[in-house]
Amino acid sequence: MNSDGTVQLWDPLLRLCHLSIAGVFFADYFFNEEGDDWHQWLGYYALACVVARVVWGFVGPPSARWADFWPTPARLAVHARALLRGEPCHRLGHSPIGALVMLLMLTGIAGLVLTGWASQEVDALWGADWPTDLHSWLADAVLALVCVHVLAAIYESVRLRENLPLSMITGRRRRRD
């Protein structure tokens, strides 16, 4: 723990993956034309970040490990009850519901890359509408999850009186006893 009451929580690789995936999704959703070179290469970069994050969940520091925050039914139930009762449920790392949303976003990004690749590169699918339709649906679903993620981070920041988005930038988080 630092003299200011904070602890190093999010390591540089985790923060780079988070920022990269967020930036790529934003750029590809709002600015890059579907199928153009930038859209494709950024998608592949996002997949590399997802793969790095998955591996980091097994070999990274304790706060990045899946075992630390995997959203088990019991953890999800405890967190949901605390939210419904308005009780604090302070975890140093990911909350169980936050972890579930994060896993859904990572899965959605991987699905976007797979459907984007399939619609462009698999000859047997040439002219088929379903890969691009699924790609568009996944993009909208990930956008909805991103909105939930951002709103939840703001809500929890206010509720816990702690700037959670800032902790992802600095890597530091206030420790509560």
Helix intervals (H) in the chain:
12-30, 37-59, 66-69, 73-85, 96-121, 130-160, 164-170
CA 145 to each of CA 23, 37, 97: distance values in angstroms, whole numbers, following the listed order: 15, 26, 12
Closest CA to 101 of 51, 153, 167, 65: 153
Residues forming a β-bridge with 8: 172
Average pLDDT over residues 136-150: 97
Mind listing the pLDDT tens digit for each residue in 50-75? 999 999 999 999 999 999 999 999 99
Distance CA 117, CA 25 (A): 15
Asked if pLDDT for residue 142 goes beyond 90, the answer is yes
Average pLDDT over residues 112-124: 90
Burial of 49 from C-beta contacts in 10 A (0-12 / 13-18 / 19+):
buried
- Residue 3: DSSP 8-state: T
pTM of the predicted protein model: 0.91
Closest CA to 25 of 121, 17, 55: 17
Asked if pLDDT for residue 98 goes beyond 60, the answer is yes
Average pLDDT over residues 144-170: 91
Higher pLDDT, 111 or 128: 111
Burial of 61 from C-beta contacts in 10 A (0-12 / 13-18 / 19+):
middle
Say what percent of the chain tops pLDDT 70.
97
- Please give the pLDDT value at position 3: 65
Asked if pLDDT for residue 41 goes beyond 70, the answer is yes
Average pLDDT value over all residues in the chain: 91
Distance CA 81, CA 66 (A): 22
Closest CA to 98 of 75, 65, 127, 129: 75
